[in-house]
Amino acid sequence: MNTTLASLHFAQAAEYLVPSLVHGAGLVLQTTLAGFFLATLAGVLIAVGRLFAWRPFRVMLYGFLEIIRGTPLLVQLVYIYYVVPLLLNLLAGMFGYKTDVQISPMAAGIAGLAINYGCYMSEVIRGGILSIDRGQTEASLCLGFGRFETLVRIILPQAFKSIVPALGNYLVMMIKDTSLLAYVAVNELLLRTQTFASQTFFTIEAYTYLALAYLILSVPLSHCVKLVEYKLSNSERQ
């Protein structure tokens, strides 16, 4: 046991791996912020579409949600990165065009996160919209506001205030799910750690630092979400 512990090289691993993980953490934050912004936008559009759109379109949205929620995020990422370019090239070929469409790993990762989380967040956003009393919509329409203006200026701000804690939890989950982007060649934390461990055989050290990196990113953010939730609950009581 003592011999095994003595053979570990945490200091040596930190010298080479930690700077790489710091750079990878920046990439993770960029990917998370872009993915979360697009996921929120997609969630709003899907939620509004399911509530107010033409019935056949609502059915199509529901079918899309079932597909996304019924398949793993990893499969969706791989499909976007490897299959979607082939389908686009095939479709262009059917119309007589020769193309070589490719999707960058970063773009595929952000798109996969945005689509997957957008579908889940849409249900939360839809619930937030439905929680707002219909009397406010009727009052707004009576005052001369249009339906779109009522939705944007009256309903959505109140809905988002009630669902901020839930959206914050999705943000924390997204940071951790960026580890899946390693499978579509995004050079984030997991891929950097795997490369380092395979080259140096510092397996225990490398993956311990990886776990610490995700803890450093996610734990403070989760506490910020709890603080925001506490502030919002206090403001509602006053």
What is the token pair recorded at 80? 């976007």
Kindly provide the residue ranges of all beta strands, DSSP E only, lying in the chain, ordered along the sequence. none
Q: Which residue has the tokens 């603080």?
A: 227
What is the token pair recorded at 174? 């997204």
Residue 139, domain extent:
2-237
* Backbone torsion region of residue 143, taken as left when φ is above 0, otherwise alpha when ψ lies between -120 and 50, otherwise beta: alpha
CATH of the domain at 201: 1.10.3720.10
Mean pLDDT, 10 residues at a time, the chain of 238 residues: 67 93 94 97 95 93 96 97 95 90 95 97 94 86 84 88 90 95 93 94 94 95 87 69
Name the nearest CA neighbour of 67 among 115, 113, 17, 104: 115
Q: What is the DSSP string of 25-56?
A: HHHHHHHHHHHHHHHHHHHHHHHHHHHHS-HH
Q: Using CA of residue 204, residue 205, residue 206, residue 208, what is the dihedral sign?
A: positive
Tally Cβ neighbours within 10 Å of residue 44: 21
**Cβ-proximal residues to 67 (8 Å cutoff; 6+ apart), any chain:** none
What is the token pair recorded at 18? 């930690």
Domain count, the chain: 1
Give the per-residue pLDDT at 174. Answer: 97
Give the per-residue pLDDT at 1. Answer: 44
Give the per-residue pLDDT at 230. Answer: 83
